[in-house]
Amino acid sequence: MSTPTAPYSMYRPKEGLGPWEHRGKVAAVGIGHSPTARRWDGRPEHSVGGISLMALRRAIEDAGVAADQIDGLVMDPVTTTGAYWPQGKPIPNDMLAVFKATDDPLDGIAKLSADWILNNMPELTNVRFTMYGPGCMSNAICVAAQAVGDGLTHTCLVLKSWHNFAGRYYQGGANAGNAIPGSAALRALWGTPACYGTALQFAEYCRKYGKHHDMMAPFIENSRNNGLKFPEGYWAQHRPEQITAEDYKAARWIAKPANLFDNDLPIMVSAAYLYTTAERARDMTQKPVYILNHALSDGRPRSLTPTLDEVEAETARTARKIYEGAGICAADLSFENMYDGFPQFHQFHIEGLGYRGLQFGDALDFYQGDIGIHGPNPILPSGGNIGCGRSRFWMHTDCIQQLQGRAGARQVTGVKPEVAVSGGPMPLGGHFTVWSATPD
């Protein structure tokens, strides 16, 4: 089956589009997560393909539908942001023995196609619609919501998976070589790590508003606290370590003013959701969580790296799109679950949203107050990437679970969980979803 990448027409990139035409008519119901691991241990069932099958089957079971009722699959074929399969390293024979491969030997190991999934889930006998929403779950769920709303699929699995191999992230490939192509060199020659761009924006933010790095400590503590209450997360499963303010302030710099704990930990993990129509969702096992809107930020910087002015203009524009399509305003948000990988741009997202009345420059002061899950102003109750490891989807799972009332120890209690927003990754360039406990 040939799987296209979602066309631009499926997204909502502009202001002035009015309420989303499928507002409240699409719902997320089932959730499936694989266990997490720091790196692939070489066992086929723990490969990125193997854990994806586990997540998908758990989502189907969680929703309480039969596999043959699934007619759609939306996913991201890219499973890394920086871990490379060493050139020339043979594919493990076990992998070939256990799974039905595609033409690409790295499929299921360092990437993932819809064909690989369908080859290895023979129970999915009625999938007629497949589509790629590349980048992260934030994209894939917007594509799935639009596809279900448009009637392209009625009962659709949405999948995002991550692989990680031995060695340090970003240290292989061209970064290890002695020469690089001219286009890449315009940025890469200076050796900036991934967090550098965000660190720059954060530095400008601190200069402009009179803030400083250590004011991020309560946010980091809160994120890890919440993440340790997320049983699906890496830190909860493997290393239940708090990050105290002292720990945060003592960490080494990666790209000052971003330190080690301003960065997330690459892991292997997969998550799947089951999306369907609001009507069909009523008969499923879990309480439906309705999609009120999805929105795209496709702003781009004028030059090498976004300026603070560009960031603030774009997050404000994104917020207007989010609210307009959902027919809500900032005051309607029970909580927020905007992306945090990197934590130093989380404040851009929530200031753009005007969450709890925040204006530009306010968030770091806001972090010094009660931002916990039991207070009136929850910040990132999922714990995000800092709390759970790099996946870019904890915030979506958390929104669904919170609105379903099954977030367990993480359940917000200081607010009634009715409407939430999640999305990312970047302040310039991301996909956002508005979730609701009711269809209207």
Partner 1 sequence: MAKQGVVPDDLTRPFWEAANDERLVIQNCAVCNRLQHPPARRCHQCGSNAHLEWKQMCGRATVYNYGVVHDCPIRLLQEDQPFNVAVVMLEEDPGIQMYSHLPGTPVDAVPVGARVEVIFEATANGQKVPEWRVVHSAGSNR
Partner 2 sequence: MILISFDIDGTLVVGDPPGILEVDLVRAAKNQGLLVGSCSDRPISAQRALWKQHGIEVDFTVSKHMLADVKAQFEAAVYYHVGDREDLDKRPAERAGFEFLWPHEALEMPWLSRGSCGAATKQR
Say whether residue 179 binds partner 1 (CB under 8 A): yes
Q: Are residues 228 and 216 in contact, defined by beta-carbon separation less than 8 angstroms?
A: no
Where in 7-26 is the site for partner 2 (CB under 8 A)? Answer: none
Say whether residue 345 binds partner 2 (CB under 8 A): no
Which residue shows structure tokens 């719902």? Answer: 27
Say whether residue 406 binds partner 2 (CB under 8 A): no
Task: Report the 10 Å Cβ neighbour count for 281.
Answer: 25
Q: Per CB under 8 A, which region of 15-23, 253-261, 362-370, 431-439 contacts partner 2? A: 253-261
Say whether residue 8 binds partner 1 (CB under 8 A): no
Say whether residue 166 binds partner 1 (CB under 8 A): no
Which residue shows structure tokens 């499973």? Answer: 79
Amino acid at 393: F
Nearer to partner 2, 40 or 99 (CB): 40
Task: Report the 10 Å Cβ neighbour count for 66.
Answer: 10
Q: Are residues 274 and 155 in contact, defined by beta-carbon separation less than 8 angstroms?
A: yes
Amino acid at 17: L
176, interface contact from partner 2, partner 1, none, CB < 5-8 Å by kind: partner 1
Task: Tell me the closest approach of the beta carbon of residue 398 to partner 1, in angstroms.
Answer: 30
Q: In what order do the strands lie in the sheet with 26-33?
A: 129-132, 72-75, 155-162, 269-277, 26-33, 289-297, 430-436, 419-425, 335-338
Q: Are residues 394 and 384 in contact, defined by beta-carbon separation less than 8 angstroms?
A: yes
Distance between terminal CA atoms of the chain? 37
Where in 162-221 is the site for partner 2 (CB under 8 A)? Answer: 168
Say whether residue 178 binds partner 1 (CB under 8 A): yes
> 250-269 mask for partner 1 (x: CB under 8 A)?
--xxxxxxx-----------
Pairing of the two strands 129-132 and 72-75: parallel
Where in 188-247 is the site for partner 1 (CB under 8 A)? Answer: 188-194, 196, 199-200, 203-204, 207
List residues binding partner 1 (CB under 8 A).
170-171, 175-183, 185-194, 196, 199-200, 203-204, 207, 252-258, 300, 302-305, 307
Residues near partner 2, by CB under 8 A: 38-39, 168, 238-239, 241-244, 246-247, 250-253, 260-261
